[in-house]
Chains A and B, each alone.
Chain A
Amino acid sequence: MTMPLMRPARKNPMLRTRQLNLPPAARGRVALGITAAAAEGRFELQACEDCGAVQYPPREACHKCLSPRLRWQQQGGDGVLLSSTTLHHSNDMYFRERLPWRLGLVHLDAGPTLMVHLHGDVPDAVDPPVRLRVGARLDRTGQAVLIGFPTEGGAAMADDKMLREMTSDPKFRKVLVTDGKTAVGQAIVTSLVRAGADIVWVGHAEPWKKTADMQALSALPQVTLVPLDLTNGRSVVELAGAIGGKVDIVINNAEVHRTFGIAARRGIDVAKAEMDINYFGLLRLAQEFGPALRGRSADGEVGATAWVNLLSIYALSNFPPHGTFSASKSAAYSLAQCLRAEMRPAGIRVINVFPGPIDDEWNQHVPPPKVGEGALASAIVKALRDGVEDVYPGDVAQEWLERWRANPKVLERELAAGGS
């Protein structure tokens, strides 16, 4: 059984911060289909629409019937461990630093043979055969890898050394939550504390205002309130100067949300305020905290690991009753893709969260189901633990996503016609 992760010793400030090596990142275009599914937490392989054969590695044609009609099909992942090995030598620097490293060869019940990273709770192949379950995870380059998991996990399964390379578990890590004033922010902070975060710095745009909620948060021993106003470049610079070199996870949940589209309000002041936090706020934060995070991504077992953006399902397609807000979230989404591209070479995962309407005052007129702050906070912690990239919490988000994937134009027309 995996031993629970112990609190790492304090960092020796005399030693050079370890530099990052990434595992091999090259993949062909077809193979990226596995990455696309793993980014959302699913394990998918190619299946032939004509003969049904499931195949791996990914190909341009069905290896059984030569059909080009291949689709990505979700897999249960059950299979038998045919063989296993422990690597004591590698040609790649990333793995050389992490030897010994266990690998398995799995015969999936669905057909193909897979080479996988092996979880520590899976025993070596023996007679009778060891059954296991294969899943897909994103490795430190953000590319999918397959992992052989035990069919039943122990309590500390997530603390497996290999698996922790793929995930961003907040346990023993230091986190910045950019806005503690909202119910969502407070739920995120308490969820992180429950998940074992070492320190949670909580942004407070107006530190002179003493609210009961913020007082309660700051009573938690792990929590420190810090002044942070994302509309003020100097405020962001100052905070980054103070804690930037220690933060392992940034969760940017600060947002301005006002209703209405174009015609219902004169002028652009409200839209500007939305953009100033939702888009420029992210940009300011990324410019100041991004470099320090990138520099510490190999800093021990609990080094810098992830960046979370609270976006909105409205980022995918404009919801006209909240038109300017949708536009600001769409801009933030686009910028988050840029941030992801820039953080990926450093091994920092950018997680985009696209909730459906949150159950707060700005969605008062939006009918249920709405996402509660607790559910949203849990989804964020789960995304960090699972190492996924894109999360769509809530029934509305899930439904919009399905409609958007099916046909974005149809969704646009439905929303324009007053649907939701």
Chain B
Amino acid sequence: MAVPVTVPYVRYSTHGAHWFIGQAVAELVKASGVRKEQIDGLCLSSFSLAPDTAVGVTQHLGLSPRWLDHIPTGGASGVMSLRRAARAVQAGDADIVACVGADTNHVDSFRQTLGSFSNFARDATYPYGAGGPNSVFAFITANYMRTYGARREDFGRIAVDQRTNALRNPYAMFKKPLSLDEYMAARPISEPIHLFDCVMPCAGAEAFLVMTEERARDLALAHVLIRGAIERHNAYSEDPVMVRGGWLKDRDDLYAQADVVPAALDFVQTYDDYPVIVMMQFEDLGFCAKGEGPAFVRANDMTFAGSFPNNTSGGQLSAGQAGAAAGFLGMVEAIRQLTGAAGARAVPGAALGLVAGFGMVTYDRCLCTGAVILGKSQ
């Protein structure tokens, strides 16, 4: 994996998704020195392409890939695209795969997306207050708080530390510090979810290239290696309310593939649609036991220079949620961290990192979970 690129986020854009995809591919070409014609694989994630799919984008941008994938799976699409692209390269189906997550955001597009996000959302959640994921994650958060004794302050720590990280990320939408007092004083959105528990929808793109290690060396591209990867959908559907994610099912496999223990990781990029999900990932990915998330965040400094660096870009909570690009945010940030491109927010001595994905709240929880472990190239 190489060439992490970001098309800067804007709150609203009059451009279509294709504009952001085009700029992402242009940036990949420019930053890699690879010609557009050499990109022979494309894996695309976007919610605002309709009526196009990935194939329409090839003609739109004048690409002619011999391998194509379209995975509109939101927050898990970064992990999923990497898994698919890596297998394509491994099997010889493509030499250089561009993985792109991009979305536009018009003034009214968030509302329109919510009502038609899924059959179940149309039938069974949107007619109930039209809160979108806020109300669903309010249920999950309230249940988690009651079951495991988490307090709002615990979630606040996650948001505040991520803001500290964001202040050193030039691409982050939020430029002002956030204190725990400000977090606690924020207006309620869907109790116990308050303003700073929510991401800001925006437009933008994140992208990277996948190729063999040899080719990256030949092209003299700074790169990282995939050490392990897992993916799971609709796990624990028998749980009446979400208290654990699919990561738990597959994490042993993940660490076995990478031949590491969780403590060996230098940073994590969790999927932070809401802080409660970050806390669940700490538990389900094995950094602490189930129910110990609140104690874990109290005991750790989650800034880039802290004891447990998490979402060093600021995450979606502070960098913004550019639709499906949010699923790529952690991946692009991890590549930057492991290739010495993280600037003022570099995790000291970072050699091994984990990126988790979580996506698609079709009804009462997100269905897709995934995670990868990435290592610095020796």
If the complex has contacts A82-B240, A83-B140, A85-B191, are A27 and B123 also in contact, measured as CB distance less than 8 A?
Answer: yes
Q: Is A143's CB under 8 angstroms from B135's CB?
A: no
Q: How far is the CA of A183 from the CA of B116 in the complex (A)?
A: 50
Distance of A372 Cα from B138 Cα, bound (Å): 51
- Tell me whether B115 and A83 are in contact (CB under 8 A): no
Q: Among the listed B123, B135, B237, B363, which residue makes an inter-chain contact with A31, where contact means beta carbons less than 8 Å apart? A: B123
Most buried by B among A89, A95, A116, A145: A89
- The answer to whether A86 and B188 have CB atoms under 8 Å apart is yes
Judge if B119 is at the interface, Cβ distance under 8 Å: yes
How many Å from the CB of A303 to the closest CB on chain B? Answer: 21
A88-B188 in contact (CB<8A): yes
Chain A residues whose C-beta falls within 8 Å of the C-beta of B111 in the assembled complex: 91-92
The 0/1 profile, CB within 8 Å of A marked 1, for residues 104-138 of chain B is 00000011001110011011111111111011101
Closest to B130 in A: A92
In the complex, whether B103 has a CB less than 8 A from a CB of chain A is: no
A137 to chain B, nearest CB (A): 12
Q: Pick the contact of A87 from B114, B120, B123, B129 — CB < 8 Å? A: B129
Contact A105 to B241, CB < 8 A, known contacts A83-B142, A91-B111, A125-B143: yes
Q: Are B134 and A57 in contact (CB under 8 A)?
A: no
Q: What residue in chain A is nearest B194 (Cβ atoms)? A: A88
A-side binding surface: helix, strand, loop or mixed?
loop
Contact B191 A88 (CB under 8 A): yes
The reply to whether B240 and A107 contact each other, CB–CB distance below 8 Å, is: yes
A100-142: which have CB < 8 Å to B?
Answer: 101, 103, 105, 107, 113-117, 125-127, 139
Supposing A85-B191, A88-B188 touch, asked if A57 and B128 sit within 8 A by C-beta, the answer is no
Given contact pairs A83-B140, A92-B130, A57 touches B363 in the complex (Cβ within 8 A): yes
Are A113 and B188 in contact, with the CB atoms below 8 A?
Answer: no
A227 at interface, CB cutoff 8 A: no
Which of B111, B119, B143, B363 has most chain A Cβ within 10 Å?
B119
Closest-CB distance, A26 to chain B (whole angstroms): 5
What's the nearest-Cβ distance from chain A to residue B116, in Å? 8
Chain A residues, CB < 8 A from B114: 91
Shortest B240–chain A CB gap in Å is: 4
> How many chain-A residues does the 8 Å CB contact rule pick out?
40
Chain B: residues with Cβ within 8 Å of the partner, total of 39
Known contacts: A24-B127, A83-B142, A85-B190. The answer to whether A91 contacts B364 by CB under 8 A is no
B142 touches A85 (CB 8 A): yes
Contact with B along A346-368 (1 / 0, CB 8 A): 00000000000000000000000
Query: 8 Å CB contacts to B: which residues of A1-36?
Result: 23-28, 30-31
Q: Does A334 have its Cβ within 8 Å of any Cβ on chain B?
A: no
Distance of A143 Cα from B364 Cα, bound (Å): 20
**Quick one: CB contact mask for A55-68 with B, threshold 8 Å, 1 for yes?**
01110000100000
The answer to whether A145 and B128 have CB atoms under 8 Å apart is yes
The 4 A-B residue pairs whose C-beta atoms are closest, nearest first, are: A92-B130, A85-B138, A31-B123, A83-B139
* Further pairs besides A23-B130, A91-B131, A92-B129: 8, Cβ < 8 Å: A31-B123, A83-B143, A87-B129, A115-B124, A115-B125, A126-B146, A127-B146, A139-B127
User: Could you tell me which B residues sit within 8 Å of A by CB distance?
Assistant: 110-111, 114-116, 119-120, 122-132, 134-136, 138-140, 142-143, 146, 187-193, 237, 240-241, 363-364
* 10 A-B contacts (beta carbon < 8 Å): A57-B124, A63-B237, A83-B139, A83-B146, A90-B131, A107-B240, A115-B125, A115-B128, A117-B129, A143-B127
